[in-house]
Amino acid sequence: MSATNLLNQLSRVKKTGADRWMACCPAHQDKTASLSIKDLPDGRMLLHCFAGCEPDAVLAAIGLTFADLMPERLQGDFKPVRFAFSALDALRALVADLLFIRLCALSMSKGRELIASDLESLHESADRIENALAAIEVKP
């Protein structure tokens, strides 16, 4: 499968580099484009959801498996790669969370209390930030 075929199955695809894209993750309710896609020189494609979805769940959501991300000549001789995703892509994936946290911080700094649903959303944002930092190998 080519990168183009994969990208055609995703929504809100944006090219963020020569060999990389961001798109909405099909495995969760993605408000921002949290899915990073990277095309490796050997023909493999890497996927990472900055919100924390497992790659096999992302693939299953669009009816694919890992074998679809790999050229036939490499199948069976698959060496997993350690790869830190782009810090800029991680930041792009976190924009909605950061804007929400900013609003909460402004509100609290004026002495207002957050409602329960905002506290729940804050918790989810904190989880996404933790996942994104792990993906770009930043230790808090």
All residues at 6 or more sequence positions from 101 whose CB lies less than 8 Å from its CB, including other chains: 122, 125
The reply on whether position 94 binds Zn ion by CB under 5 A is no
Pick the closer one to Zn ion by CB: 91 or 108: 91
Closest separation in Å from C-beta 9 to Zn ion: 14
Pick the closer one to Zn ion by CB: 49 or 70: 49
Pick the closer one to Zn ion by CB: 100 or 109: 100
Closest separation in Å from C-beta 57 to Zn ion: 7
Q: Hey, what are 140's tokens?
A: 């808090």
Closest separation in Å from C-beta 61 to Zn ion: 8
Contact set for Zn ion, span 45-64 (CB under 5 A): 49, 51, 53
Contact set for Zn ion, span 3-42 (CB under 5 A): 25, 27-28
Pick the closer one to Zn ion by CB: 12 or 112: 12
